[in-house]
Amino acid sequence: MLLAGLLALIIGVLVRSEGHVATLFVGTVILSMGIASTNVLLPVLIKQQYPERVPSLTTAYATIMGGLAALASGVAVPLAKELPGGWRSSLASWAVLAAIAAVFWIPNTRSAERKGDASNTAAPHPPWRTSVAWQVTAFMGLQSTVFYVSISWFPAYLREHGFSAAAAGWLLSVYQAAALIAGLAVPTMIRRFKDQRALAFCTSTLAAVAVLGILMAPEQAILWMTLLGVASGPSLILALSFMGLRARTQESAAALSLMAQGVGYLIAACGPVAFGLVHDHTGGWTIGLIGVIAVAVAQGLCGLGAGRLVKV
């Protein structure tokens, strides 16, 4: 299933880069299916193979993911200028990394014999009937909303406040690089504290402060984007770790991962659209940014529930 997700990602990237509006949308749908399936399966794989190392393994793959995302944000415009096909070649070039990942994953696709005692217990309690599952889902969706709005709209906001397109792209890279570095501390902090409530609340509060700074003093964008990254990186790793930490078994991890990411990303997908609609109707950025601050505050409140030492 993971290999199929990678292949869908490769096909979607190439189709999206063809150059027409129709293929832009079709390719985006295909690659999004690849991203969604691999996103849901990775926490399950970690819970299955490394149940005692959920935070550290989650940090490892999230760090690689964030590092390459930061690189992509910074070099997208320069690649479009240097490569012969312009923006089409810039977008298509990322299929190479997906292809490399698929090649390395192929040896892991051989089916192993299932053990007889894999799961003889009764069907697990549906996660949507537990409050902690909804709190994990809300934390996942709200932290993703802040991230999606940031990468979708903050470059345009910065351009209107005196930054060039390339500078705005590099500030986005600073944001993601800060997220990557800050996220490395999460496994240690999870081991140090008895639960994750304080960590989830503090990272969410820092995100709210950073967005407020972007609104009030955009000329200091490098400071605020760095702080926002310091908040976003640990928030993402916490959200992904919760799917394993709050689950008793591999099966419950699968159910919680599907719920948290399926519903969570559906919530997050509405964020950039809602932000754009507010911008269009108000003709400015203030109301939209205040809304992002409110989302970050709500994320912190949900983190107080998702970080409790309870199991789905």
Question: What per-residue confidence (pLDDT) applies to 114?
Answer: 54
Left (φ > 0), alpha (ψ -120 to 50) or beta: where does 103 sit? alpha
Please tell me the distance from the alpha carbon of residue 74 to that of residue 162, in angstroms, as a whole number: 18
Q: Given a cut of 50, is residue 7 above it in pLDDT?
A: yes
Q: Given a cut of 70, is residue 302 above it in pLDDT?
A: yes
Q: Given a cut of 50, is residue 117 above it in pLDDT?
A: no
Q: What percent of the chain has pLDDT over 70?
A: 95
Residue 19 three-state SS = coil
Q: Given a cut of 80, is residue 126 above it in pLDDT?
A: no
Tokens read off for 68: 């390459």
**Cβ neighbours around 24 below 10 Å, total:** 15
Using alpha carbons only, give the angle 189, 142, 216 rounded to the nearest 5 degrees: 90
**pLDDT band with cut points at 50, 70 and 90 for residue 6:** very high
Tokens read off for 262: 């399926």
Question: What per-residue confidence (pLDDT) applies to 81?
Answer: 86
Top-confidence residue, 192 or 278: 278
Top-confidence residue, 306 or 121: 306
Q: What tens digit of pLDDT does each residue of 12-67 get?
A: 999 999 888 999 999 999 999 998 888 888 888 888 888 888 888 888 888 888 77
Question: What per-residue confidence (pLDDT) applies to 95?
Answer: 92
Q: Given a cut of 80, is residue 154 above it in pLDDT?
A: yes
Average pLDDT of the chain, as a whole number: 88
**pLDDT band with cut points at 50, 70 and 90 for residue 184:** confident
Q: In 3D, which of 133, 221, 222, 228 has the Cα closest to residue 180?
A: 228
Contact 286, 133 (CB under 8 A): no
Q: What is the mean pLDDT of residues 158-167?
A: 88
Please tell me the distance from the alpha carbon of residue 229 to that of residue 208, in angstroms, as a whole number: 12
CA 15 distance to own-chain centroid: 23
Q: In 3D, which of 108, 121, 59 has the Cα closest to residue 252?
A: 121
Give the global pTM.
0.80
Q: What tens digit of pLDDT does each residue of 236-290 get?
A: 999 988 988 888 887 888 889 889 988 998 999 999 999 999 999 999 999 999 9
CA 162 distance to own-chain centroid: 28
- Domains of the chain: residue spans and CATH: 2-106+127-306 (1.20.1250.20)
Contact 143, 236 (CB under 8 A): yes
Contact 257, 132 (CB under 8 A): no
Burial bucket for residue 221 (CB in 10 Å: 0-12, 13-18, 19+): buried
Question: What per-residue confidence (pLDDT) applies to 116?
Answer: 45
